[in-house]
Amino acid sequence: MSSLCSGDRARASGVCRKWRDIETSLKKTNPLPMNVRVRENNDLVHICDLTRCLSKRIIFPIRPHGVVRYAKDGWMLFHDDDTHAMNFYNPQSTEVVELPKILSDDLVDMAAFSAPPTSPNCTVFLLLLTFRDESPDVLIWRPGDMVWIIVEYCKRHRSITSTWVNAVVRNGYFYCMNIDGYTGEFDLVKCSWKALPYEPLGCARSVPLYGWRKSVFMADYDGKFFLVRTYGVAQPIVYKSDGITCTWKRVKHLDGATFFASTTTSLIRDDLPDAMKNCIYIPQHSGGCIYKHLERRSSFRK
C-alpha cells in the first residue's frame, strides 16, 4: 500500500478495518516545498510561506548573478545571459558549483538537471533559443566535463521547436511540450530526441506566446504527466496524460495530490496535510502565491 498514491490509498482503506489501519499508519506529513522568487542581479530573495500564503524577503549576498532556470532537491541553476555563465547554488549551505561558460552567443531557452551537482548522476540539459521553424541545439554537461557537449539536429519536427513549457525530468529522460501542443522526449544515454505519440494538446495552441510560460505548467506524478492551464480561464484547467491511448484527458481533481506550479520547476506532492490536497499553488509576480482547491466552487484566495 505504501507504493500507492494518496487517492488510491484512501480508496483502499475502505475495504476493511485492517486496510484502514494500515493506511492510517502510513499517513505522514513532510515539509512543504519552498516557493522562492529571485530578482535578477539583486540580493533580495522572496520566500513564500505556503501554509499562510505570506512572503518574506531574505538577502543572499553571495548568490550567483542571473536568473534561476531550474530548481530541484534544494539546488538552483542560475544563468547569466550577459556573461554566459551557468552556476549551481544551494541557498541552505551557500555552496556554489561553477559550470563551464557557454561558448555561444545563443540564448538559453530551457534548462533542467536530473540530480544535484554533487551526484555522479547529475546531467544538465539546455535547449537554445531558436526561431519557430528551426530545430534547436541541445547542450549537455555532466560532472567532470570541461566543456558543454553540443547535440545538433538537422531533422525538423513539430515537437522540436521553440517555445517550451517547463521541462520535466523522469527516469533519465527530459520531457518538454512546445507551444504547438507536441510533447518531445530527450534520451540522455542515446542523446536523441523523439516525439511522443500523443495527439497535440489543443489548449496549448490557444495560448499566445507572451503568456505561454506564465500560464501553462507541466509536472510528472505517478508515471503520468499533468498539465495546468491558467490563461484565459476563470479557474485552472487540468489535463492528465494517458500512456495507453496516448491522449490527454481533462480531469477535475488531482487524486489527493497537490500541484505546485512554477515557471522553472513544477512538481506534484501527495504527502501534505489534507487541507492542501487537490490544490494548485500558482506564483505571483510580487513573490507570493495564490491557490485553488479543485473540488470546491470558490474563487482564488491569497
Query: Cell for 165?
Result: 513549457
Helix (H) or strand (E) holding 6: helix 6-12
pLDDT at 176: 86
CA distance 228 to 53: 20
pLDDT in tens, 217-263: 999 988 889 999 888 887 888 999 987 778 899 998 888 888 988 88
pLDDT at 301: 39
Count how many Cα atoms sit within 13 Å of the Cα of residue 219 in the half-sphere of its side chain: 23
The pTM for the full model equals 0.78
More confident residue, 80 or 32: 80
* Residues whose CB is less than 8 angstroms from the CB of residue 91 and which lie 6 or more positions away in sequence, other chains included: 36, 45, 60, 63, 74, 76
Residue 129: count of CB within 10 angstroms of its CB: 14
CA distance 48 to 55: 4
Considering the chain, what percentage of its residues have pLDDT values greater than 70?
A: 76
Helix (H) or strand (E) holding 293: strand 289-293
Q: Band of the pLDDT at 48, cuts 50, 70, 90?
A: low
* Residues whose CB is less than 8 angstroms from the CB of residue 253 and which lie 6 or more positions away in sequence, other chains included: 238, 278, 294, 295
Domains of the chain, first to last: 1-28 (no CATH), 31-293 (2.120.10)
Distance of CA 15 to the CA centre of its chain: 35
- Is the per-residue pLDDT at 290 higher than 60? yes
More confident residue, 17 or 292: 17
Q: Band of the pLDDT at 300, cuts 50, 70, 90?
A: very low
pLDDT in tens, 79-135: 988 888 999 998 888 889 999 998 777 788 889 999 999 999 999 998 887 665 566
